[in-house]
Structure 1
Amino acid sequence: MNEGFPTRLRRLREARRMSRRTLSELCGLSKDMISIYERGEADPSTSTVCLLADYFETTTDYLLGRTEKF
């Protein structure tokens, strides 16, 4: 079974040794949004998924758990 968005986001963020707050600020999100996404309490907008994929230099499909190809 593929990992979902919350797990992929957390792993990518942790690989860069970045805090949730820092990532939120870099993406122009409110300070707690990354934490909310990582807990699976809310789904990001399409534009936010694209922004995060661009930031982590990956595809939206990988970030959303639709493919294993980074």
Structure 2
Amino acid sequence: MQYYERIRAIREDSDLSQDFIATNVLRIGQKTYSDYELNRTRIPIDAIMKLARYYDVSMDYITGASNEKRPFPQR
């Protein structure tokens, strides 16, 4: 699964809207977030980190490097 498919699947599994994630988690516009999910715009690494932290999954899971939903590492 590609990262853009994964971020959509995680969001939908959490019953959250694009607008909620864009506004409250990433602090960007809904259109920009939609472009991430549609693979029209590459998602920046800092946005992947914020999503991983919010959903409590590893960045590897979001990027498709792993299929394990390990928790985001805490410092």
Indicate the residue corresponding to 2:4 in structure 1: 6
Structure 1 unaligned blocks of 5 or more = none
How well do the aligned residues superpose, as a CA RMSD in angstroms? 0.9
Give me the whole-angstrom Cα distance separating, in 2, the residues matched to 1:62 and 1:33: 22
Q: CA deviation digits over 1:4-49, x for unaligned, max 9?
A: 1111101110011111111100121122122111101111111111
Structure 2: distance between partners of 1:32 and 1:59? 25
How high is the TM-score relative to the length of structure 2?
A: 0.84
Flag the structure with higher helix content.
2
Structure 2: distance between partners of 1:31 and 1:68: 27
Structure 2 stretches lacking a partner, 5+ long:
70-75
For CA contacts below 8 A with separation 6 or more, give which structure has more relative contact order: 1
**Which residue number corresponds to residue 44 of structure 1?**
43
Where in structure 1 do 4 or more consecutive aligned residues deviate above 2 Å?
A: none
Letter in 1 for 2:21: L
- Please give the TM-score of this superposition, normalised by the length of structure 1: 0.90
